[in-house]
Amino acid sequence: MKIKSMLWTTVTLTFAAGMAFAEGKLNIYNWTDYTSPEMIEKFEKETGIEVTLDTYDSNETLLAKMQAGATGYDIIVPSHNFIPIYIAEGLVQEVDVAAMPNFQNVKERWRNPEWDPEQKYSVPFHWGSASVAYRPDLYGKKLESYGEFFEPAEEVRGRISVFKTPEEIVNHAHLYLGQKFCNEDPAEMQKVQDLLLAQKPYVMAYSSEGMNDRLINGDAIISNHWNGYAYKGRLLAEEAGKELVYAYPKEGVIGWADGLMIPKSAENVENAKIFMNFIMDPENMGIQSNFAGYGGPIEGQEAFMDESLRNAPEINIPDDATVVFSFACNADAQSLIDRVWTNVLR
């Protein structure tokens, strides 16, 4: 801790040390740039628990570490499609989230999700979606369907940008073609491949970075995008006097949701539960949302969120829009996806 003394943690530590109930530690392992320092500070102040934060950058990294037997973490934050894997492989503890006092704050929509139906293992955290964003000022009309992205009109050919990895784009194709996710039917996957190959000549880049740059400088007119990132892009575009809109095509957007879980190897289980309950409070989740730029599952958290975020169309799903959640595919379906993607990019 001495090394970290320059950081905000110390301030709270000194504060916490003076408190009567100062006790214990909590080691959080979360995504990079995803944990609000203000929220952690508040937690330390209120509970006297000292928080240490470590970060990772992908679900695969987290899973690989947990499978390799990493210890010392009390809270991990996998995405919904990985949550069943942790449960099935016995990597996490049963916590009975539904019995926690603050669980009543969770919006109906996020309670008892498919990936943890009895809410025994995971606390709902941020959620988001993947779709496409576009430049209405250059496109000239509203984007209504993925068809406009996969089979682009003359004027946007060569100005389409696509994600670098297949997870979301293959699911977008499934949505457009009206097929089920994690498809194991080679004939249906063939159609996905044909669609992606037909789109390829019109694609300028397959990249999951710099979408906002490409849209704002006009290199791309339609680009695959994530809602939280598109929200930041819209603010940047407005500054430059341009328009950037995150689209809700009629086929639906691909949803993801992260959950807090306690690994089997956790040492501070009680503190982890205190944190889980803490984050389901509207104010705390609101503060956290402001930092991460993503929406959360807590009723009334909007009151504590920055105005621009609270009213952001990227965060607030329109009533008529559909959100479809994806799952981690089994080995057969995954290998079909890999083959399609390799055939598209080879």
Partner 1 sequence: MANLPENAALRRTLALGPALAIIGIFMLIPVIIMASYSFLEAKSFGGVNWVFSGDAYVQLFYERMLDDSLRLSPGYLIIIGRSVALALVAMVCCLLVGFPVAWFIARQPLRQRNMWILLITIPFWTNQLVRTFAWIIILGRNGVIEVPFRWTGLLAPEQTLGLMYSNFAITVGLTYTFIPLMVLPIYASLEKLDFSLVEAGADLYSSRWETFSNIIIPLSKPGIIAGCLLVFIPSLGAFIQPDLLGGGKNLMLGTLVQFQFSTARNWPFGSAIAMILLAFVVVFLMLYARASRGSKSLEVH
316 binds partner 1 (CB under 8 A): no
Q: Scanning residues 248 to 277, which ones bind partner 1 (CB under 8 A)?
A: none
Give the SS3 label for residue 270.
helix
- Binding partner 1 (rule: CB under 8 A), the pick from 204, 235, 323, 324 is 204
Measured CA to CA, the distance from residue 24 to residue 43 in angstroms comes to 13
Per-residue contact string for residues 59-88; x = within reach of partner 1 by CB under 8 A: -x--xx--x-----------------x---
311 binds partner 1 (CB under 8 A): no
346 binds partner 1 (CB under 8 A): yes
In the bound state with partner 1, the residue whose beta carbon lies nearer, of 47 and 59, is 59
- Pairing relation of β-strands 123-134 and 245-246? antiparallel
219 binds partner 1 (CB under 8 A): yes
Measured CA to CA, the distance from residue 61 to residue 131 in angstroms comes to 24
In b/e form, how buried is each residue of 278-287, taking b as 16+ CB within 10 angstroms? Answer: bbbbbebbbb
Residue 217 CB, nearest distance to partner 1 (Å)? Answer: 5
Q: How is residue 240 written in tokens? A: 């430059």
Contact stretch for partner 1 (CB under 8 A) within 36-44, 172-180, 292-300, 323-331? 323-331
For the chain, what is the radius of gyration of the CA atoms? Answer: 21
Measured CA to CA, the distance from residue 39 to residue 57 in angstroms comes to 21
In the bound state with partner 1, the residue whose beta carbon lies nearer, of 114 and 209, is 209
Per-residue contact string for residues 29-58; x = within reach of partner 1 by CB under 8 A: -----------------------------x
Closest CA to 261 of 34, 85, 47, 32: 85
- Binding partner 1 (rule: CB under 8 A), the pick from 205, 235, 321, 324 is 205
- Binding partner 1 (rule: CB under 8 A), the pick from 33, 114, 213, 306 is 213
Please report where in the chains the tokens 């100062």 appear, as a residue: 22
Residue 206 CB, nearest distance to partner 1 (Å)? Answer: 4
Contact stretch for partner 1 (CB under 8 A) within 24-32, 41-49, 110-118, 336-344? 336-344
In the bound state with partner 1, the residue whose beta carbon lies nearer, of 186 and 300, is 186
Residue 132 CB, nearest distance to partner 1 (Å)? Answer: 17
Type and span of the H or E element at 309: helix 307-310
342 binds partner 1 (CB under 8 A): yes
H helical segments located in 71-146: 83-88, 136-139
Please report where in the chains the tokens 């329109």 appear, as a residue: 318
Q: Scanning residues 162 to 191, which ones bind partner 1 (CB under 8 A)?
A: 164-167, 186
In b/e form, how buried is each residue of 14-28, taking b as 16+ CB within 10 angstroms? Answer: eebeeeeeeeeebbb
Query: What is the DSSP secondary structure assignment for residue 305, as one 8-state letter?
Result: S
Residues 222 and 289: beta-carbon distance below 8 Å: no
233 binds partner 1 (CB under 8 A): no
308 binds partner 1 (CB under 8 A): no
Which residues are registered as beta bridge partners of 226?
Answer: 130
In the bound state with partner 1, the residue whose beta carbon lies nearer, of 214 and 273, is 214
343 binds partner 1 (CB under 8 A): yes
Residues 23 and 49: beta-carbon distance below 8 Å: yes
In the bound state with partner 1, the residue whose beta carbon lies nearer, of 109 and 339, is 339
In b/e form, how buried is each residue of 158-189, taking b as 16+ CB within 10 angstroms? Answer: ebbbbbeebbbbbbbbbbbbebebbbeeeebb
Residue 231 CB, nearest distance to partner 1 (Å)? Answer: 23
- Binding partner 1 (rule: CB under 8 A), the pick from 203, 235, 323, 324 is 203
In the complex, which residues of this chain contact partner 1 (CB under 8 A)?
Answer: 58, 60, 63-64, 67, 85, 164-167, 186, 200, 203-207, 209-210, 213, 217-219, 328, 330-331, 334-335, 338-339, 341-343, 345-346
